[in-house]
Amino acid sequence: MKTRKYLPLALAILGCVFLYPFLWDRISLLQVSTKWRHAFDYQELVNWFDLEKNITKHLPASITIIKTNPSLAKMVPSKVRKAQIYHTSPTIVVPGGNKTDLMTRITLLPALSKKNFKKLPVWDFEDMYLTDPQHRNRTCQQSLRNSEDPEFRKAFIPNIQLFMHREHLNISEWNRLAHFNNPFGFMEYNYAEVKQAVDLIPKLEDYQLLPVPTTNKQGCIRCAVVGTGGILNGSKKGMEIDSHDYVFRVNGAVIKGYEEDVGNKTAVYVYTAHSLVSASFTLKKFGFKSIPHDEGIKYVHIPEGLRDFHWLQALLNNTRVATKDYRNMRPVTHYAGQFDLNRFYVLHPDFLRYVRNRFMNSGQLQSGHWTFFRPTNGAFALFLALHTCDIVNAYGFITADHSKYNNYYYEKFAKTRQAVDLIPQLDYQLQPVPKTNKQGCIHCAVVATGGILNGSKKGKEIDSHDYAFRFRKRKVELHWADISCRKNWRS
């Protein structure tokens, strides 16, 4: 009787012993780390059994599933050391056209904080980027892609993913990008807040930003990237700029009244929400009325910060911004009737990080101020052109003799010196070490405009520095005792 009593229990245990290896083998297809296993219900197991048969056959070449490197956890503060696995594409397409998120059950990585890092954290996957499955090879023999320069060839990724759309963000991809500060990723951001905006970005049928002109028999695309540097003032480069197939412009692209120097056509306009809104207010005195709105223009948005995602959400919903910086603004009104989803692009954080890591790295990233550094909008526009055009000419960017020119080309009558566009340059020094300094140190004062300086009598102390930096054009002559009149550079 006792044997019959325990027989069902013995059979159950025996069944578990035989079924365990089979079930575990199936579940391990998810490739989750050995430490962080997730529970799956019966229906999920059925789905995975069906999916396994086709997973190798149907995965696009651009999709890979990557295990978390154990060494990665050592680089994360202990309280957020639950590193998750990730893969380089948010979805796969299974037979029948249904899109199944491979990592639906992955939990969100606890938010990393910038303050926990004394310098730029470098992850095992720091220099890994999404690639574009729709990339097209160039036929132009003169294309910069054919450059023989070894450093350029090593750094340049011709099929880097330039633009972001709704299929580029799920939890697993968020966990990867959450390791990078803005605009290179989503560190400290809220997943739901960002995803609401990204889910509205349509996936276009064709991501070729600029087609090859039909008149060009060599299949080459010639582009001009026009900055706003004062060197263009009186340059009479307008006709030369407009002779290109396409013209890129950025930020406060004041054109009316300056056509002779900067041309008048625009094919691609690159901006952030801040640069677009601020130009509308600060450049009115220079004749600026709106951003370029040529027929068929392409708008390229740089997602600089969280406010840009708020802007995108309102723009793509054709509503007013509901939160924070641009509350109650209706973004679509800033595009002068030329906003079209088929001509609207958002740069992918991977592309922005790639530009910084491979072309515009800075020593500042190794300091406590690492979060403040990023390439300028003009730099991002220039590298976008380098990846979408064959021949690129740049106008209105910093030159060795920058001190001879005004801040911007539209400051025609400004008597002040040129502010430095602080794009880092390899082997380029902003100011020389004073000969009187035996220790080789440069002693600088950065003078802002806070009211604390009123009556401070800090003028002589400021002048005692080797160099003084100031912001914009200020009437310093009336406040010499407090802030001095000396100005080596303004920005």
> Which is it for strands 298-301 and 268-271: parallel, antiparallel or unpaired?
parallel
Which residues lie closer than 8 Å to 195 by C-beta, 6 or more apart?
Answer: 169, 174
Q: What is the pLDDT of residue 280?
A: 86
Q: Where are the alpha helices (DSSP H) in 28-129?
A: 42-58
Can you give the pLDDT of all 491 residues of the chain as single tens digits? 555 666 777 777 777 666 655 555 544 433 333 333 332 333 333 333 333 333 333 333 333 333 333 333 333 333 333 333 333 333 333 333 334 444 446 788 888 999 999 999 999 999 999 999 888 788 898 898 888 899 999 999 999 999 999 999 999 999 999 999 999 999 999 999 999 999 999 998 777 899 898 888 788 999 999 999 999 999 999 999 999 999 999 998 999 999 999 999 999 999 999 999 999 888 988 888 889 999 999 999 999 999 999 999 999 999 999 987 899 999 999 998 889 999 999 999 999 999 999 999 999 999 999 999 999 999 999 999 999 999 999 999 988 887 788 888 988 655 444 444 333 333 333 445 455 655 556 677 888 777 777 777 787 788 777 777 775 444 444 454 555 554 444 44
CA distance 47 to 471: 60
Alpha-carbon distances of 402 from 444, 454, 485, rounded to whole Å: 20, 32, 21
When computed from its CA atoms, the radius of gyration of the chain, rounded to whole angstroms, is: 27
Question: Cα torsion for 38, 64, 357, 274, to the nearest 10°?
Answer: -70
Residues 6 or more apart whose CB falls under 8 angstroms from that of 435 comprise: none
Q: How far apart are CA 242 and CA 255, in angstroms?
A: 12
Q: Are 251 and 281 in contact (CB under 8 A)?
A: no
pTM given for the model: 0.67
Residue 402 has a pLDDT of: 79
Give the contacts of 170 (CB within 8 A, at least 6 positions apart).
90, 91, 101, 103
From first CA to last CA, the distance across the chain in angstroms is 93
Q: What are phi and psi of 311, to 5 degrees?
A: -60, -45
Vertex 477 angle, CA 448 and 485, to 5°? 60
Alpha carbons 103 and 86: distance in angstroms, whole number:
8
Q: pLDDT value at position 481?
A: 53
3-state helix, strand, coil in the chain (%, to 5): 35, 10, 55
Gap between the Cα atoms of 191 and 187, Å rounded: 10
Q: Whole-angstrom Cα distance, residue 463 to residue 466?
A: 8
